[in-house]
Structure 1
Amino acid sequence: MAQLNVLFNFTKSATPLKAILWSGLVAGILDSLAGVIVYYIYFGMNPFQVLQFIATGVHGPSAMEGGVRMILEGLLYHFIIAYVVAIIYFVAYPKLKVLQKFTLSSGLIYGLGIWLVMNLLILPYTNVIKSPFDLSLAIVGIVWHMILVGVPIAIITDLFYKNLWKD
């Protein structure tokens, strides 16, 4: 854990807001990097097109032609989601002992839950361009959400609550 303190420069002045900001930022960045790589491999999309694709959730297919505005809106929507899932975990952490006892496992399961909720409960009710189910893409998406979204949120939250943010 000492390496994480150095990496994130945690201090004794850590606050709940700072922990949430860090966990949402780290998860959001890692998630977007994975999305850019995977969507390039599967669909040949560049990073700007990936952000436009995210904006289709609100604006529909026209977001793909929306230019810089849709790119920025896609980025905004992406980080709103990252911060919402970071806040949910942060609030649940002191109430659920399992999160405190099994940080890594909890993060992995949380990442799986994020993928399931997004793909089965939220995205079907948005304007995202629908595509056929692809098992290999689903597996890749599940793994990246488990490792690159759930785990960082769990670790950063755990560091905060266990008062491990020290000089």
Structure 2
Amino acid sequence: MIAPRVNGARAVITAGLAYGAGIWVFMNAVVLPLGRSTQEDFGNGWWFAFLVDHALFVGLPIAVVLAPAAMRSEITRRSA
């Protein structure tokens, strides 16, 4: 009874962290070089902190907010 919820929560957390990190990498590798913004040196030592912050404060909240809707749609697909 508890195991599926733990596995579901683990999947949501993992997906959220990966999504947030992926967004940061995409923005820094693709979007910002195409824009006219000033770019910081990637090897300045702050990139890891920015990556972790983006994973925790962008990706994780998005995944947590969207997880209930995704679970409802999965249940609806299974019952149909």
TM-score, normalised to structure 2's length?
0.70
Is 2:21 the counterpart of 1:115?
no
Q: In the alignment, does 2:65 pair up with 1:156? A: yes
CA-to-partner distance for each residue in 1:101-154, whole Å, 9 max, x for gaps? 710000000011001100001100101112322342110110011100000000
Identity over the aligned pairs, expressed in percent?
29
SS at 1:136's partner residue? coil
Aligned residue runs from structure 1 range 11-50, under 5 A:
none
1:145 counterpart (37, 54, 57): 54
SS in 1 for 2:46: helix
Structural RMSD (CA): 2.2
Residue deviations 1:24-76 (CA, integer Å, cap 9, x gap): xxxxxxxxxxxxxxxxxxxxxxxxxxxxxxxxxxxxxxxxxxxxxxxxxxxxx
Unaligned runs of at least 5 residues, structure 2: 1-7, 73-80
| Bigger relative contact order (CA 8 A; separation at least 6) | 2
* Gap runs ≥5 in structure 1: 1-98
Q: Are the aligned partners of 2:32 and 2:39 in contact in 1 as well (CA < 8 Å)?
A: no
Distance in 2 (CA, whole Å) between partners of 1:109 and 1:135 is 23
For residues 119 and 143 of structure 1, what CA distance do their matches in structure 2 show? 14
